C-alpha cells in the first residue's frame, strides 16, 4: 500500500499483557489505522478497551506481538537502536503527567527531554521558553520548584516538557482528567493552538467529548481491543446508543428533541451549530404563520 | 521487566493446596526449610525433592512457573555454588595453578545448588497457592504469642499486609513513570553509567513523592474509618483446620523427622 499520505500507520497490531501466564489478557486485537500529518484524532472508549495500550504502541514504548507500525513509511521496530529517535519525534503524555516531574526547577524539568536529545544549552533554553509560551505559562516560573505549582500548572509544565522536544506527533492520554472544567478547556485550547501553529498530528485519548467538539477531525472508538466505530464525531454521536459513550449536553438535548419529532441533527454538539438550527426552526415557523 | 517477577505472586486456583489452611501452609514451608537446612546426604535431598513434587502436584502448578520464578536468581545461585566448590578445603582432586578443586568441594557445591533451588521452589509454592491476604491472616494468627512480649501481632500483620498490598501498586506506578521518562529519552536500558544513574533519579524521585502522597491518603482514610491501633480486631473469614490440613502436617512432620534422623544411620 502506498504510504505517502499517512505519517503513522498501524498494520494489524496485536498485544497481549502477561503473555504466556494465567493472567494473559488481549489488549489489542488486530488494530489498523492511519494518521495523516496535521490531523487531530480522538480515541475514546470505556476503561480497559485498549486506548492507552494503543497509544503506547504508537511511539514504541510497547512492542506489538504481531503487526507493524510505520512512522513516515519506516517500520519503527526494524532497527531497535533507532527506537529512541522515534520516541523523540512522537511525544507522549501519560495520564497525570505531572507525576513524572522530578527536577528542582521547572526549567530543568522541561529541559530533560531536549537534553537527552543532545541539544546545546542555547537551543534548550530557546525551546524551554517557547514551550512555556505554548502551554500559557509565564516565563518567571522557570526557577520555581514544580512541586509548589497547582495541579493545572504542573500538568502544563509536564506537557511543556514534551512540546520542548518538538515532536511531529503528539499523543495525549486523558490530558484533562482531574482538572477543573476551565483548566481542562484551557489545556485543550492550548494543545489545539500548538498543533495548528506547528502543523503536527495530534492524538488525544479522552472521555471528555464536551471539550473536544471543536478540536477534532476524526474519532476512533475502541471496544475490547478493537476499533468499534470510526468517523466524524457528529456522525458517531448520532449513531451510537446512549450507554456507549458520554454524550455532550447539547447532543443529549438535540437527541431528545429529535425523539419528540423536532427535525434537528442528532449529532449536534457545538453551541453555534445548535444556535443555527434553532434559529432556522424559529424562522421556518415564523414563515408558516405569516 | 517488572512483569517477569513471579516470586511472591499468587496464582488463583482451587486445588487441594490452595484450600489448605494458610497457617498450616506457613508451618509446612517453615518445616520444609528446616528440613533443607538439616539435609546433608543424597537421600535427604531426594526426600525433600519428592515432598516438593508432591506439593506442586497437589497445587496443580505448572513446573514451568516455578522455573520462571528462579530465573532472577540463577546468577546468584551459580556464583554461590561455584564459590563453595572452590573454597571448601579437602584433598585436591583437580588443580589449576593456585585453584584447587576437591571432591568435598564439588559435593558441597552441589549441595548448596540443590538447597537453593529447592528452597526457592518451596517458598514460591507457598506464595503461589496462598493469596497475600490469607498469608497475612495466617501470619498474624501464628504471631499471636508475640503478645506476651508486648508486641501487637495485629500491628505487625497490618504493616506487612500494607507493604504487600503496595507492591503491585508501586510496581505499576514505577512502570508508568519509567515509560514517561523513557518517552523523554531517559537512558533506562542503554547509555553509560552516569546516564543510567541520572535515569534512575528520574524514576526514583517521582516514585518517592508518589509513595509519600499515597501513604498520607491511606492514613487519612484509615482515620476516617476509626482505625485504632492496638484494638482487638475480628476477621470476616474464620480459619478452620480440616482433615487435609492434619494429613499435610503429619506427612511433613514425618519427612522432617526422617531427614533429621537419616545421617545417624550412616
Quick one: residue B144, left, alpha or beta (phi over 0 = left, psi -120 to 50 = alpha)?
A: alpha
Taking an 8 Å cut-off on Cβ atoms, the answer to whether A99 and B210 are in contact is yes
Mean pLDDT for the stretch of residues A159-183: 92
Helix (H) or strand (E) holding A231: strand A226-231
Grid coordinates representing A138 are 509565564
Closest-CA residue of B relative to A90 is B183
A290 contacts A284 by C-beta, under 8 angstroms = no
Mean pLDDT for the stretch of residues A69-98: 90
CA-closest candidate to residue A17, choices B180, B173, B132, B4: B4
* Percent of chain B surpassing pLDDT 70: 95
Residue B88 pLDDT more than 80? Answer: no
Residue B33 pLDDT more than 60? Answer: yes
Closest-CA residue of B relative to A87 is B183
Mean pLDDT for the stretch of residues A153-168: 94
State the pLDDT at residue B73. 82
ipTM of predicted assembly, 2 dp: 0.83
Residue A101 C-alpha, separation from nearest chain B C-alpha, in angstroms: 6
Mean pLDDT for the stretch of residues B47-53: 91
Chain A residues inside the 8 Å CB shell of B179:
56, 61, 94
Closest-CA residue of B relative to A108 is B202
Residue A281 pLDDT more than 70? Answer: yes
Torsion angles phi and psi, residue A284, rounded to 5 = -60, -45
Taking an 8 Å cut-off on Cβ atoms, the answer to whether B187 and A116 are in contact is yes
Residue A217 pLDDT more than 80? Answer: no
State the pLDDT at residue B111. 86
Considering only CB atoms, which residues of chain A are within 8 Å of chain B?
Answer: 17-18, 21-22, 56, 59, 61, 84, 87-88, 91-94, 97, 99-102, 112-113, 116-117, 147, 161-162, 165
Q: Which of A139-153, B60-74, B99-113 has the highest mean pLDDT?
A: A139-153
Calculate the alpha carbon distances from A264 to A51, A76, A257, A271, B254 in Å: 32, 46, 7, 14, 82
Taking an 8 Å cut-off on Cβ atoms, the answer to whether A165 and B185 are in contact is yes
Compute the count of residue pairs across chains A and B with CB atoms less than 8 Å apart: 61
State the pLDDT at residue B133. 78
A110 contacts A164 by C-beta, under 8 angstroms = yes
Q: Is B145 exposed, middle or buried (0-12, 13-18, 19+ CB in 10 A)?
A: exposed
Structural domain span for residue B246:
2-264
State pLDDT tens for residues B124-146: 899 889 887 788 888 888 888 88
Q: Which DSSP state fits A3? A: -
Taking an 8 Å cut-off on Cβ atoms, the answer to whether B184 and A112 are in contact is yes
Residue B22 pLDDT more than 80? Answer: yes
Chain A residues inside the 8 Å CB shell of B3:
17-18
Closest-CA residue of B relative to A80 is B190
CA-closest candidate to residue A40, choices A184, A248, A196, A238: A196
Q: Which of A98-102, B159-163, B166-170 has the highest mean pLDDT?
A: A98-102
Q: Is A190 exposed, middle or buried (0-12, 13-18, 19+ CB in 10 A)?
A: buried
State the pLDDT at residue B112. 87
State the pLDDT at residue B42. 83
State pLDDT tens for residues A35-54: 999 899 999 988 888 898 99
DSSP per-residue codes, A6-43: -SEEEEEEEEEETTTSTT-EEEEEEEEEEE-TT-EEEE
Taking an 8 Å cut-off on Cβ atoms, the answer to whether B186 and A102 are in contact is no
Q: How confident is the model at residue A1 (pLDDT cuts 50, 70, 90)?
A: very low
Residue A242 pLDDT more than 50? Answer: yes
Chain A residues inside the 8 Å CB shell of B180:
92-94, 97, 99-100
Distance (Å, whole) CA A111 – CA A113: 6
Q: Which comes out higher in pLDDT, residue A241 or B1?
A: A241
Chain B residues inside the 8 Å CB shell of A147:
209
Q: How confident is the model at residue B2 (pLDDT cuts 50, 70, 90)?
A: very low
Residue A193 pLDDT more than 50? Answer: yes
* Partner residue facing B185 (CB), from A93, A97, A116: A116
Chain B residues inside the 8 Å CB shell of A162:
183-184
Mean pLDDT for the stretch of residues A222-249: 86
Taking an 8 Å cut-off on Cβ atoms, the answer to whether B183 and A22 are in contact is no
Q: Helices (H), strands (E): how many in chain A?
A: 10, 10
Considering only CB atoms, which residues of chain B are within 8 Å of chain A?
Answer: 3, 6, 11-12, 65, 173, 176-177, 179-187, 190, 201-202, 205-206, 209-210
State the pLDDT at residue A20. 64
Q: How confident is the model at residue B82 (pLDDT cuts 50, 70, 90)?
A: confident
Distance (Å, whole) CA B112 – CA A52: 46
Distance (Å, whole) CA B108 – CA A102: 49
Q: Which DSSP state fits B262? A: G
Closest-CA residue of B relative to A81 is B190
* Partner residue facing A18 (CB), from B3, B12, B185: B3
Residue B103 pLDDT more than 90? Answer: no
Residue B172 C-alpha, separation from nearest chain A C-alpha, in angstroms: 13
B167 contacts B8 by C-beta, under 8 angstroms = yes
State pLDDT tens for residues B207-252: 998 899 899 999 999 999 888 876 777 777 777 888 889 999 999 9
Chain A residues inside the 8 Å CB shell of B173:
99
Helix or strand or coil: residue A221? strand
Residue B163 C-alpha, separation from nearest chain A C-alpha, in angstroms: 21
Residue B40 C-alpha, separation from nearest chain A C-alpha, in angstroms: 36
* Partner residue facing B179 (CB), from A18, A94, A113: A94
Mean pLDDT for the stretch of residues A220-248: 86
Count of domains for chain B: 1
Distance (Å, whole) CA A207 – CA A194: 21
Amino acid at each position: 500500500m502506498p504510504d505517502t499520505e499517512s505519517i503513522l500507520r498501524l498494520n494489524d497490531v496485536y498485544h497481549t499483557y502477561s503473555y504466556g501466564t494465567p493472567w494473559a489478557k488481549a489488549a489489542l486485537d488486530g488494530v489498523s489505522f492511519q494518521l495523516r500529518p496535521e490531523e487531530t484524532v480522538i480515541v475514546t472508549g470505556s476503561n480497559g478497551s485498549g486506548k492507552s495500550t494503543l497509544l503506547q504502541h504508537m511511539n514504541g514504548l510497547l512492542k506489538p506481538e504481531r503487526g507493524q507500525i510505520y512512522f513516515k513509511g519506516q517500520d519503527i521496530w526494524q532497527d531497535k537502536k533507532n527506537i529512541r529517535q522515534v520516541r523523540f519525534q512522537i511525544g507522549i503524555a501519560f495520564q497525570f503527567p505531572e507525576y513524572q516531574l522530578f527536577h528542582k526547577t521547572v526549567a530543568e524539568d522541561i529541559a530533560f527531554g531536549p537534553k537527552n536529545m543532545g541539544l546545546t544549552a542555547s537551543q534548550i533554553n530557546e525551546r524551554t521558553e517557547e514551550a512555556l509560551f505554548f502551554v500559557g505559562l509565564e516565563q518567571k516560573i522557570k526557577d520555581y520548584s514544580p512541586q509548589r505549582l497547582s495541579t493545572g500548572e504542573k500538568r502544563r509544565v509536564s506537557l511543556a516538557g514534551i512540546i520542548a522536544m518538538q515532536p511531529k506527533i503528539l499523543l495525549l492520554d486523558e490530558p484533562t482528567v482531574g482538572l477543573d472544567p476551565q483548566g481542562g478547556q484551557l489545556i485543550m485550547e492550548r494543545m489545539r493552538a500548538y498543533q495548528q501553529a506547528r502543523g503536527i498530528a495530534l492524538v488525544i485519548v479522552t472521555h471528555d467529548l464536551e471539550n473536544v467538539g471543536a478540536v477534532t477531525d476524526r474519532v476512533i472508538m475502541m471496544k475490547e481491543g478493537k476499533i468499534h466505530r470510526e468517523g466524524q464525531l457528529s456522525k458517531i454521536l448520532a449513531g451510537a446508543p446512549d450507554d456507549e459513550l458520554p454524550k455532550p449536553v447539547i447532543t443529549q438535548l438535540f437527541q431528545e428533541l429529535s425523539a419528540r419529532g423536532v427535525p434537528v441533527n442528532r449529532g449536534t454538539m457545538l453551541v453555534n451549530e445548535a444556535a443555527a438550527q434553532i434559529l432556522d426552526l424559529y424562522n421556518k415557523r415564523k414563515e408558516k404563520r405569516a | 521487566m517488572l512483569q517477569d517477577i513471579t516470586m511472591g505472586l499468587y496464582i488463583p486456583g482451587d486445588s487441594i493446596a490452595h484450600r489448605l489452611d494458610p497457617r498450616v501452609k506457613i508451618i509446612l514451608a517453615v518445616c520444609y526449610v528446616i528440613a533443607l537446612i538439616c539435609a546433608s546426604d543424597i537421600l535427604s535431598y531426594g526426600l525433600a525433592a519428592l515432598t516438593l513434587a508432591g506439593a506442586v502436584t497437589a497445587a496443580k502448578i505448572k513446573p514451568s512457573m516455578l522455573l520462571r520464578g528462579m530465573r532472577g536468581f540463577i546468577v546468584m545461585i551459580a556464583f554461590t555454588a561455584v564459590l563453595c566448590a572452590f573454597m571448601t578445603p579437602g584433598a585436591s582432586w583437580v588443580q589449576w595453578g593456585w585453584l584447587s578443586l576437591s571432591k568435598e568441594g564439588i559435593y558441597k557445591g552441589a549441595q548448596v545448588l540443590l538447597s537453593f533451588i529447592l528452597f526457592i521452589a518451596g517458598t514460591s509454592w507457598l506464595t503461589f497457592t496462598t493469596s497475600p491476604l490469607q498469608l497475612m491472616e495466617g501470619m498474624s494468627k501464628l504471631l499471636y504469642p508475640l503478645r506476651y512480649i508486648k508486641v501487637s501481632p495485629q500491628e505487625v500483620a497490618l504493616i506487612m499486609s500494607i507493604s504487600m498490598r503496595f507492591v503491585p501498586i508501586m510496581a505499576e506506578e514505577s512502570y508508568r513513570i519509567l515509560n514517561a521518562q523513557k518517552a523523554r529519552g531517559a537512558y533506562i536500558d542503554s547509555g553509560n553509567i552516569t546516564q543510567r544513574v541520572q535515569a534512575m533519579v528520574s524514576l526514583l524521585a517521582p516514585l518517592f513523592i508518589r509513595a509519600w502522597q499515597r501513604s498520607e491518603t491511606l492514613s487519612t482514610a484509615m482515620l476516617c474509618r476509626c482505625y485504632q491501633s492496638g484494638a482487638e480486631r475480628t476477621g470476616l473469614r474464620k480459619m478452620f483446620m480440616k482433615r487435609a490440613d492434619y494429613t499435610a502436617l503429619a506427612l511433613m512432620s514425618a519427612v522432617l523427622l526422617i531427614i533429621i534422623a537419616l545421617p545417624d544411620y550412616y
